[in-house]
């Protein structure tokens, strides 16, 4: 083993594997700007090292891979008129795109909680492993935000309206749900991970993606559809609209237990966040690349960072924890096209650019 850093991020080579371990277990490995920069540096190092055949991404502790970004730090910077949002998301989104095109097999172990920024680190990987303990979610609408880190790209490529449902409600996927939604590739019981991990460190120096897939599948359960998959037809009917008002009306008309539960969940979310999310999801359906979606997400994220809704959403969920945000505007029908426009507008010289 060759350890580089023993702080919030542990980077080392173990046999044929370049290991990246998020190491903030008390914060469920929430991502900071410095961690993101460290991952980039690790990817540089491992790409250049001929003895590294495969990358392993994992989280310290037993609670999850990563619960998202350092929301408290972003909230503080937003309140002070700072620029952490611009710097953090630029670094993060460029890294998300890099992970998607990384030249070596990149294995993400998505155990426990995998939320927000954790999805950005794992959902674009070449090999995405979920477990019997996985709880994956993109809950950003509850913070006055939207599913970013390429989330609009991933959600828009889920079957039918499954991505619309998960993106708007922020509901949690289990492992098989994540396979069905195309956020993951294989379910491996958490108890089998140490054995699989050991096998990954012993792959040949030129292991192909197909070889790595075969190795992972030899440990996998084969599960590919969770409880949400059984509701596919209902979700497609209820969430197959381009306006939030129409989705809400469909849920009210349906009146089933599932529809009323979804309606209750939506009523707790930011109206502005839901309208922005739905628009970005629909635009993502015709996007030609992940990068195109990330450019659009970066524009919208900068607008979110300036918004009262983001500060209020984080206050209610993370700071005061009263779970009682006061959204602006308070109703979906009050979100106008004029309010939506700045989230979609170009930002000139500040546009996100990829190497």
Question: What does the pLDDT read at residue 205?
Answer: 87
Question: What does the pLDDT read at residue 278?
Answer: 98
pLDDT band at 6 (very low <50, low <70, confident <90, very high): low
Point out the least confidently predicted range of 53-57, 95-99, 223-227, 256-260: 223-227
The residue-averaged pLDDT of 298-317 equals 94
Is the model's pLDDT at 158 over the cut of 60? yes
Angle between helices 71-79 and 84-100 (to 10 degrees): 140
pLDDT tens for 165-208 read 999 999 999 999 999 999 999 999 999 999 999 999 999 988 99
Is the model's pLDDT at 3 over the cut of 60? no
CA 115 to chain centre: 6
- How many helices, marked H, and strands, marked E, lie in the chain? 16, 10
Which residues contact residue 321 at a Cβ distance below 8 angstroms, ignoring those fewer than 6 apart? none
Highest mean pLDDT among 148-157, 204-213, 311-320: 148-157
Q: Are 122 and 64 contacting, i.e. CB atoms less than 8 angstroms apart?
A: no
Is the model's pLDDT at 15 over the cut of 90? yes
Active site residues: 69, 117, 140, 148
What pTM was computed for the model?
0.96
């Amino acid at each position: 083993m060759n350890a580089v850093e023993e702080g919030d991020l542990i980077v080392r080579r173990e046999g044929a594997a370049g290991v990246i371990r998020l190491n903030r277990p008390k914060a469920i490995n929430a991502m900071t700007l410095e961690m993101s920069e460290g991952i980039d540096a690790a990817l540089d190092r491992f790409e250049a090292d001929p003895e590294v055949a495969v990358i392993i991404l994992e989280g310290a502790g037993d609670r999850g891979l990563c619960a998202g970004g350092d929301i408290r730090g972003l909230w503080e910077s937003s309140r002070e008129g700072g620029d952490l949002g611009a710097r953090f998301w630029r670094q993060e989104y460029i890294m998300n795109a890099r992970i998607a095109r990384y030249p070596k097999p990149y294995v993400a172990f998505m155990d426990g909680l995998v939320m927000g920024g954790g999805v950005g680190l794992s959902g674009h990987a070449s090999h995405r492993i979920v477990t019997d303990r996985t709880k994956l979610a993109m809950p950003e609408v509850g913070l006055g935000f939207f599913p970013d880190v390429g989330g609009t790209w991933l959600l828009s490529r889920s079957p039918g309206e499954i991505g619309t449902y998960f993106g708007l409600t922020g509901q949690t996927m289990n492992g098989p749900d994540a396979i069905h939604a195309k956020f993951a590739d294989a379910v491996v019981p958490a108890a089998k991970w140490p054995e699989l991990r050991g096998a990954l460190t012993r792959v040949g120096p030129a292991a192909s993606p197909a070889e790595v897939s075969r190795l992972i599948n030899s440990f996998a359960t084969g599960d590919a559809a969770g409880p949400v998959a059984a509701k596919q037809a209902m979700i497609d009917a209820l969430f197959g609209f381009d306006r939030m008002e129409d989705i809400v009306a469909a849920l009210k008309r349906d009146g089933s237990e599932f529809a009323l539960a979804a309606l209750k969940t939506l009523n707790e979310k930011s109206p502005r966040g839901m309208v922005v999310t739905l628009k970005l999801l629909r635009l993502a359906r015709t996007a030609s690349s992940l990068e195109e979606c990330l450019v659009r997400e970066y524009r919208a994220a900068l607008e979110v960072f300036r918004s009262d809704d983001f500060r209020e959403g984080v206050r209610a969920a993370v700071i005061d924890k009263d779970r009682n945000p006061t959204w602006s505007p308070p109703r979906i029908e009050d979100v106008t096209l004029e309010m939506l426009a700045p989230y979609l507008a170009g930002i000139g010289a500040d546009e996100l650019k990829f190497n």
